[in-house]
Amino acid sequence: MTDIGEKMTSTVEKMMFENRIMKLSADEHLSNVYPIPELLMSEIMKITNLEENNNAKGKGELSTDANLSLWTNTNYGYYEDADILSVNFTRKADVLRDYCDHIDDLLICYVLNNKIISVQIFHASALLYCHLFDYNKMIDNKPPLCLYSVYCEDRDELSVYFTDYPSTKRLQSIEVEKDIILQMSDDGKLVALLFCNANVRIAKEFSKEDRERLREKYKLRTLVLNSSK
């Protein structure tokens, strides 16, 4: 076979390969379960120690252990047409929101008491450190989406990682809202979302009573809007 023929065959095979790989769906995908990967635990401890060192200005001993657990009910879905990844902290059936804040490429959605129920990431395929194909291998030098929602009880912090192998030389922490920090890789890709004061800020459950109160709030808003017309 000639060089041209080999190149054509290679191109065709690549196109067939790409066409067989589908993007992730908008269906509810649950976050990963135990065990928490050792590399991920090491990364969390590295960030924790860096924060403690900064707070103590280099004084005292750094932590060598932390009480880490998985935050249940965290799930995600990818909306390919809009290129939005939605990270939800309650089951997908709980779709009611009180209000939302649009900050840069994030839409942060809240329920009663200013608790966060979901975070939607816009331009996700470009912004995230991982790729969004339903394929468990590297694509374009990006690892697959592997979402871990890890809670550090000692610091009351929730880290939502999009990969189990955040191979970065350094992490930039960018605060986008009170208690919400973006953890970016050295090449400017989103590796994780960090939520401080997690027990106060995150809606782990959405009770029947809360749902009814929010419905009543919607009704009142509708009445006020209709009366002003």
> What is the per-residue pLDDT for 194?
92
48-57, 70-79, 191-200: segment of lowest average pLDDT: 48-57
**d(Cα 86, Cα 172) in Å, to the nearest integer?**
22
| Cα pseudo-dihedral 202, 146, 32, 149, rounded to 10 | -20
Q: Is the dihedral angle over the CA atoms 225, 221, 118, 188 positive or is it negative?
A: positive
Q: Which percentage of the chain shows pLDDT scores above 90?
A: 34
Length of the chain: 229
Q: Domain coordinates of the chain in residue numbers?
A: 22-227
* Assigned token pair, 208: 């029947």
Judge whether 191 and 162 are in contact, CB under 8 Å.
yes
88 pLDDT higher than 90: yes
Rounded to 5°, the CA angle 147-153-156 comes to 85
Residue 164 in 3-state DSSP? coil
Alpha helices in 106-197 (DSSP H): 124-127
2 pLDDT higher than 50: no
What is the model's pTM? 0.78
pLDDT digits (tens, 9 = 90+) for 107-158: 999 987 888 999 999 999 999 999 999 999 999 889 999 999 999 998 999 9
- Could you say which DSSP state residue 25 is in? P
* Average per-residue pLDDT for the chain: 79
212: enclosing H helix or E strand: helix 208-227
